[in-house]
């Protein structure tokens, strides 16, 4: 796959067949061009920050008393995704890929009810640190005879309970191998993030970014939050050349994951490589201050992400712009793995 096919074929109209539950040139020329970008992206096209941004993280209200019960329901659904001329199957939690981000605080009890409406055995396995074995959601439950219901048969359900003891970024995924290896259950879309907040720390906006290989049949082989455009930045430039900013705007959070931020805004970016090969994260125009490095930035502003690895960046956007972010295995970016931080 060269990723250089006609971008119009792939870029417009990605949708789920079933709804989910839920510094450039200098001087005046640069200022005029940048203002025009946001005029067209915002006013002329009718997009607002709320419309373009992905939905906020889900979960209980920050600042609630310790020891809360935080409850979620996740339903395994088999759906069809479409983008342009392509259609392909996906396995989902609540009809979306990635699945909903689960949020809670240290001291909370997290209860996750999982209903399996799929045609294969599925499960909910987390990367949380300490929990009862019956909540593992793995083949070990079946082998041991303890918590066997955590491997959920079609038509059945199971409630997983976790007492949260430490803050951080974690994630969940299906650990079943029914009909396909575990790798395929994850790649088909059964994964999502868990964010456990420290109630004593200031509240910042938080966004989750998953790097992964796409489901078989998807237009782009490499995806960010399950969106990808073959040809990467080259394809975006080609769309702009033919359709102007309106064409680019039509791709946002359809084939290209995009976030809107404000100058001076400090956010947490939760990064996860849920795929099976090495990926990395590079964002243009800002420092990559890393939780894994104890508050120091990554050298050259590239975050290495081996399979299964994760990190949380604290980022302050100091300059306006249409800032790219992408995998810096550049062939991956060329084959779909790009996104935009749009800073106003």
What is 99-150 written as a DSSP string? PPPEEEETT-EEEEEEEE-SSS-EE-EE--SS--GGG--SHHHHHHTSSGGG
**Is 231 among the domain residues?**
yes
Which whole number is the average pLDDT over 25-31?
45
Each residue of 248-265: pLDDT tens digit? Answer: 999 999 999 999 999 999
Three-class SS of residue 8? helix
Residue 209 shares a structural domain with residue 191 = no
Task: Tell me which of 176, 197, 218 is where a domain ends.
Answer: 197
Q: How confident is the model at residue 293 (pLDDT cuts 50, 70, 90)?
A: very high
**Is 61 among the domain residues?**
no
**Is 57 among the domain residues?**
no
Residue 338 shares a structural domain with residue 212 = yes
**Is 63 among the domain residues?**
no
End-to-end CA distance of the chain: 35
**Is 64 among the domain residues?**
no
**Is 62 among the domain residues?**
no
- Per-residue pLDDT at 67: 79
Residue 24 shares a structural domain with residue 76 = no
Q: What's this model's pTM, rounded to 2 decimal places?
A: 0.84
| Averaged confidence pLDDT in the chain | 86
Residue 44 shares a structural domain with residue 86 = no
| % of the chain residues with pLDDT over 70 | 81
**Is 307 among the domain residues?**
yes
Which whole number is the average pLDDT over 116-127?
98
Task: Tell me which of 163, 197, 231 is where a domain ends.
Answer: 197
Residue 135 shares a structural domain with residue 18 = no
Q: How many folded domains does the chain comprise?
A: 2
How many residues make up the chain in this entry? 344
pLDDT(49) > 80: no
CATH number, residue 25: 2.60.40.420
- Strands across the sheet with 296-297, in order? 222-224, 205-213, 266-273, 310-316, 289-290, 296-297
Longest dimension (CA), the chain: 71
Residue 188 shares a structural domain with residue 90 = yes
Determine the number of helices (DSSP H) and then strands (DSSP E) in the chain: 7, 22
Residue 212 shares a structural domain with residue 337 = yes
Residue 231 shares a structural domain with residue 190 = no
Residue 273 shares a structural domain with residue 303 = yes
| Domain containing residue 100 | 69-197
Each residue of 197-218: pLDDT tens digit? Answer: 999 999 999 999 999 999 999 9
Distance CA 194, CA 106 (A): 12
Distance CA 337, CA 329 (A): 9
Each residue of 175-195: pLDDT tens digit? Answer: 999 999 999 999 999 999 999
Q: How confident is the model at residue 36 (pLDDT cuts 50, 70, 90)?
A: very low
Residue 188 shares a structural domain with residue 291 = no
- Per-residue pLDDT at 84: 81
**Is 46 among the domain residues?**
yes
Three-class SS of residue 314? strand
Q: How confident is the model at residue 337 (pLDDT cuts 50, 70, 90)?
A: very high
Task: Tell me which of 135, 169, 197 is where a domain ends.
Answer: 197
Percent of the chain that is helix, strand, coil (3-state, to 5): 20, 35, 45
Residue 40 shares a structural domain with residue 138 = no
| CB count in 10 Å sphere of residue 9 | 13
Each residue of 51-64: pLDDT tens digit? Answer: 334 444 443 333 33
Query: In which residue are the tokens 């079943």 written?
Result: 176
Distance CA 115, CA 173 (A): 14
Residue 254 shares a structural domain with residue 237 = yes
């Amino acid at each position: 796959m060269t990723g250089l096919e006609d971008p119009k074929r792939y870029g417009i109209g990605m949708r789920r067949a079933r709804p989910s539950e839920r510094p450039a040139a200098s001087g005046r020329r640069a200022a005029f061009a940048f203002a025009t970008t946001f005029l067209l992206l915002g006013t002329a096209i009718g997009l607002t920050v709320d419309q373009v941004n992905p939905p906020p993280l889900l979960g209980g209200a920050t600042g609630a008393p310790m020891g809360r019960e935080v409850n979620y329901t996740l339903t395994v659904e088999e759906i069809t995704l479409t983008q342009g001329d392509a259609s392909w199957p996906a396995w989902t939690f609540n009809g979306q890929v990635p699945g909903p981000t689960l949020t809670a605080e240290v001291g909370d009890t997290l209860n996750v009810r999982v209903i399996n409406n799929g045609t294969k055995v599925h499960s909910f396995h987390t990367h949380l640190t300490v929990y009862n074995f019956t909540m593992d959601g793995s083949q070990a439950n079946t082998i041991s005879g303890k918590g066997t219901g955590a491997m959920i048969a079609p038509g059945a359900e199971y409630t997983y309970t976790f007492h949260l003891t430490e803050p951080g970024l974690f994630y969940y995924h299906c650990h079943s191998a029914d009909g396909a290896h575990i790798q395929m259950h994850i790649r088909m879309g059964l994964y999502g993030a868990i964010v456990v907040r420290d109630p004593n720390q200031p509240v910042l906006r938080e966004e989750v970014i998953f790097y992964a290989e796409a489901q078989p049949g998807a237009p782009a082989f490499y995806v960010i939050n399950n969106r990808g455009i073959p040809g990467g930045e080259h394809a975006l430039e080609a769309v702009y050349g033919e359709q102007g900013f309106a064409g680019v705007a039509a791709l946002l959070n359809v084939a290209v994951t995009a976030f809107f931020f404000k100058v001076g805004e400090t956010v947490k970016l939760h990064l996860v490589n849920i795929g099976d090969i090495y990926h990395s994260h590079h964002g243009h125009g800002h420092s990559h201050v890393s939780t894994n490095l104890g508050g120091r930035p990554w050298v050259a502003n590239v975050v290495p992400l081996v399979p299964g690895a994760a990190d949380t960046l604290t980022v302050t956007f100091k300059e306006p712009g249409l800032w790219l972010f992408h995998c810096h295995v550049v062939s991956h970016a060329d084959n779909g793995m790009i996104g935009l931080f749009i800073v106003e």
